[in-house]
Amino acid sequence: MLPLRQFVAAARSRLSGVRIVLEDLSDPGNRAAILRSVEAFGLLHVHEVRSSRLRVGSTARGRSIVNGAEKWLTLHQHSDIRECLTSLKASQHALLAAVPPGKGRQPLPLESLRFDRPTALLFGSEAWGISSEALELCDATFTVPLPGLSESLNVSVAVAVCVHFAAFRRREALGLAPHEGDLQLEEVEELQESYAERSRENRFAASLRASRARKARDESQALAPVVVEDGERVGETLGF
Amino acid sequence: MLPLRQFVAAARSRLSGVRIVLEDLSDPGNRAAILRSVEAFGLLHVHEVRSSRLRVGSTARGRSIVNGAEKWLTLHQHSDIRECLTSLKASQHALLAAVPPGKGRQPLPLESLRFDRPTALLFGSEAWGISSEALELCDATFTVPLPGLSESLNVSVAVAVCVHFAAFRRREALGLAPHEGDLQLEEVEELQESYAERSRENRFAASLRASRARKARDESQALAPVVVEDGERVGETLGF
């Protein structure tokens, strides 16, 4: 269990004025990697739209990469992109759709974006990109300029670069230090209490799983499979 | 084969004043993903140090992810980290070592770094990080601040975020537009000729492979495996 001071620090640093919308992302590995970066850089709200028959399965691979990051985020599930984007628009969010370089109606370079007002960044499915319905509802398109000869980035790398830069610009626009967020004081207090609660629930759930696994093993005299949800994947995350 | 104007544009946009040093990176998938981002963001020089018995094998997975990016970079191979870093220091490069947040001697936040002078960013092995020998030779350590509760990023995501931000700052420091680089005119001309040459060699090698595969297939009346080196992996790169 993480110490309370970490929940306090994390809640204080959260940015609610930069949100991510993921439209029909299909690869659970990409989803998990994205949630991990979004959480690490201090964002809070992620909107997941599953308008098609796509369903992201909670595979062991996905769980391992997300590394428990998901439980520190506020995930909003939507079955309709129009409902998602119009509600964000109603709460005064600028809507910016990420497109590959050279595509769309003259996309703005990421580096030129300002984040003085609350903003949602929309990323599309790996195979089909952003739907035309979503594009119509957005205020503008933007891209990560790639002056090299490689014409694309992996979607999880692209989202990480965008989220890092957006968080940097948001803090710059509001005059915040790298570890300060944009939540109101009462929201910060609510969030840190919620974090402590989620951590206890998680601990309880983990001990329940372990005890069930022990029981099953004792009964069958065979090794029961144990999924480590919070484990670090050595060889993937260290060393940087 | 890419059109000549793309080589001209890519050569003009290259930054030689931000370099990457990879010390004993062991995972070929990470290496390939890193080279792809480094190339896409317009860097040119990558120094690979393999001081231990580590050898990065050229696996099919690695080839697929790098997606041909490697051939547009200038790769420098070193067997000794001291030789690599002292030669970079001799050519007036600032040496900055990437460390995880909270580690090392008060690492500088990435966002505070300036790139008015040529700089090399050093990243360590996935398992052991940067060697103490390398740390001693560096001018400073830096980190990507992670205010969230996830304590690490995948190394390829971390390098992509650092390279993107460093390229942004380098262009800002020199007053360059997003598609301008820092090479001298004669270096640009040399590079674009070299790109055209590499492209022709690659085309020749590809046709040679295809003809060998056809021959083997005809002889054995069975399907020969064909490795697509430049093919796009749908479902991984699109959609952003």
Q: What is the pLDDT of residue B123?
A: 97
Q: What is the pLDDT of residue B175?
A: 96
Instruction: Report ipTM (2 d.p.).
Output: 0.82
**Do the chains contact at A40 and B235, CB–CB below 8 Å?**
no
pLDDT tens digit string along B144-196? 999 999 888 888 999 999 999 999 999 999 999 989 999 999 999 999 999 99
Contact of B52 with chain A, judged by CB distance below 8 Å, is answered with no
Q: Candidates 3.90.1300.10, 2.40.110.10, 3.40.1280.10, 3.90.79.10; correct CATH number of A9-174?
A: 3.40.1280.10
Phi and psi at B27, nearest 5°, equal: -90, 120
Contacts of A122 (CB under 8 A, 6+ apart): A21, A23, A85, A95, A96, A97, A98, A130, A134, A138
The amino acid occupying position B97 is A
**Do the chains contact at B126 and A179, CB–CB below 8 Å?**
no
Contacts of A26 (CB under 8 A, 6+ apart): A54, A56, A125, A126, A127, B235
CB A99 within 8 A of CB A142: yes
**When comparing pLDDT for A18 and B214, which is higher?**
A18
Q: What is the pLDDT of residue B239?
A: 32
How far CA A54 is from CA of A118, A157, A223, B26, B178, in Å, comes to 29, 22, 34, 35, 37
Fold entry, domain B4-174? Alpha/beta knot (3.40.1280)
Question: Which residues in chain A are closer than 8 Å to B26, comparing Cβ atoms?
Answer: 235
| Contact map slice: A 148-207 vs B, CB within 8 A | 148-161, 164-165, 168, 178-179, 181, 195
In the three-class reduction of DSSP (H, G, I as helix; E, B as strand; rest coil), residue A130 is classed as coil
Q: What is the pLDDT of residue A53?
A: 46
Query: Which residue from A10, A6, A113, A164 is spatially nearest to B109, judged by alpha carbons?
Result: A164
Contacts of A203 (CB under 8 A, 6+ apart): A1
| Contact map slice: A 1-40 vs B, CB within 8 A | 2, 6-7, 9-10, 13-14, 26-27, 30, 33, 36-37, 39-40
> What is the CB neighbour count within 10 angstroms for residue A127?
15
Q: What is the pLDDT of residue A104?
A: 58
Q: What is the pLDDT of residue A235?
A: 30
How far apart, in whole angstroms, are the C-alpha atoms of residue A226 and residue A209?
8
CB B18 within 8 A of CB B166: yes
Beta strands, E only, chain A: 18-23, 45-49, 74-78, 94-98, 108-109, 119-123, 140-143
Question: Which residues in chain A are closer than 8 Å to B144, comparing Cβ atoms?
Answer: 164
How far apart, in whole angstroms, are the C-alpha atoms of residue B37 and residue B157?
9
Question: Which residues in chain A are closer than 8 Å to B165, comparing Cβ atoms?
Answer: 164-165, 168
Q: Where are the domains of chain B?
A: 4-174
DSSP output for chain B? ---HHHHHHHHHH-BSSEEEEEES---HHHHHHHHHHHHHTTB-EEEEE--SS------HHHHHHHTTGGGGSEEEEES-HHHHHHHHHHTT-EEEEE--TT-SSSPEEGGG---SS-EEEEE-BTTTBS-HHHHHHSSEEEE----SS-----HHHHHHHHHHHHHHHHHHHHT--TT-----HHHHHHHHHHHHHHHHHHHHHHHHHHHHHHHHHHHHTSPPP---SS---TTTSTT-
Q: What is the pLDDT of residue B23?
A: 96
Question: Which residues in chain B are closer than 8 Å to A164, comparing Cβ atoms?
Answer: 144, 161, 164-165
Q: What is the pTM of this model?
A: 0.83
pLDDT tens digit string along A155-194? 899 999 999 999 999 999 999 998 999 999 999 999 999 9
Question: Whose structure tokens read 């050279």?
Answer: A102
Q: For the residues B91-99, what does the mean pLDDT come to?
A: 97
Report the chain A residue with the minimal C-alpha distance to residue B1. A149
Pairing of strands B74-78, B45-49: parallel
Contacts of B198 (CB under 8 A, 6+ apart): B71, B72
pLDDT band at B222; cut points 50, 70, 90:
very low
How far apart, in whole angstroms, are the C-alpha atoms of residue A165 and residue A167?
5
Positions of chain A with pLDDT under 70? 1, 52-67, 103-105, 219-240
**Do the chains contact at A238 and B100, CB–CB below 8 Å?**
yes
Dihedral angle over CA of A63, A54, B66, A110, nearest 10: -90
Question: Which residues in chain B are closer than 8 Å to A165, comparing Cβ atoms?
Answer: 164-165, 168
